[in-house]
Structure 1
Amino acid sequence: MTHHVFRLSLAILALGLIVSGPAVADEATTRETRLAKYLSGTQFIGKFTVDGKDGSPKTEAYTIKSCEKLPAADLYRFTARIKYGNVDQELPMDLKILWSGNTPVITLDSLWIPGMGTFDARVLIQPGPQAGRYAGTWQHGDHGGHLFGKIVALPEHSADNSAETSPEPASDGSNGAN
């Protein structure tokens, strides 16, 4: 009798996984597409710090011309304009975005950027209808620090980056507690 109950439980669990599998995959694809659309035509405007250096954080700005989800898992192609020191360039970068619950995290692991060097970073994205936020850490050789700021839609994209394109699911009015 115990074996029958166990087998029945496994069969129900397997059926549940089979039935929910496509729905979960569709939800992830939709979330990824919304994130790529949200990030396209934006500018990350904020500050960064350098560990061990006193003083005010320095200003930074990164323009994301476009972002598209690539077929490989967790991989996105950013076409970005980067201004850093004497460097001002636009280039495509294939970056990993991992999800912590509903929060996307841009992940750089030993990414070589021409003219700048190799970087590691973790940048958390908090989408928002008017201006989202970003915060994270960065490392460049022996130097590292923190970064933070706003994600602002470029004027020609402001209508496209509304709350409808936020990668977060629509609120159901609950407080998220289960």
Structure 2
Amino acid sequence: MTVCILLLTSVTVSAAEQAEEKGAGAPDQGQLEQKFAEQMSGATLIGHFSVDGKQNGKPPREERYEIASAKKLQGDQWLITARIKYGENDVNVPMPLNVFWAGDTPVISLTNLTIPGLGTFTSRVMFYEGRYAGTWQHGQVGGNLWGKIEYANQKSEPQEEK
């Protein structure tokens, strides 16, 4: 019995020490939010989207979203201003939405957000290591989306002609 108690105690202490070591280098929530705001401001999402039941052997459609800014408001509420090209529309839209965190991974969550002139949308999109992936819904139509994130500091400046 004593050996069992000693073994349990040493395993518990070891697990606690490992958790402390792991947590020591982990960024705090404020740092994660600041990094997300900085990285997303000026970023471009470049990828594809699918439409459920509409593939018919066709490749997924291309999409591109230019994020002008990402600002935390309060709690989980953020204001993301994005240039949205959808059909014949090409507009800059400030969107109040929630950003939730799965550990160090931000997940944008919007539910039944009406964008004037475009319609009502629901979406869940996660961002990690220069990529994004998620789901979208627009009325009865929905699907998946995925792609790369081109951060503002990665964009090449146009070369001047000599």
Partner of 2:8: none
Cα distance in 2 for partners of 1:49, 1:126 equals 20
Cα distance in 2 for partners of 1:111, 1:68 equals 18
Partner of 2:109: 107
Instruction: Give the C-alpha shift of residue 112 in structure 1.
Output: 0.6
TM-score (norm 1): 0.68
**Residue aligned with 2:28, SS:** helix
Quote the sequence identity (%).
Answer: 49
Mapping for residues 133-152 of structure 1, pairs under 5 Å: 133-152=131-150
| Structure 1: runs of 5 or more not aligned | 1-25, 160-178
Mapping for residues 147-162 of structure 1, pairs under 5 Å: 147-154=145-152, 157-158=153-154
| Structure 2: runs of 5 or more not aligned | 1-26, 156-162
1:62 aligns with 2:44: no
Query: 1:23-57 deviations in whole A, cap 9, x for unaligned?
Result: xxx92122111111111110001000000012210
**Residue aligned with 1:115, SS:** coil
Partner of 1:82: 84
1:39 aligns with 2:40: yes
Higher Rg: 2
Q: Which amino acid aligns with 1:121?
A: S
TM-score (norm 2): 0.75
Partner of 1:92: 94
Aligned residues: 128
Instruction: Give the C-alpha shift of residue 158 in structure 1.
Output: 3.2
Query: 1:120-156 deviations in whole A, cap 9, x for unaligned?
Result: 01001013xxxx10000001111000000000024xx
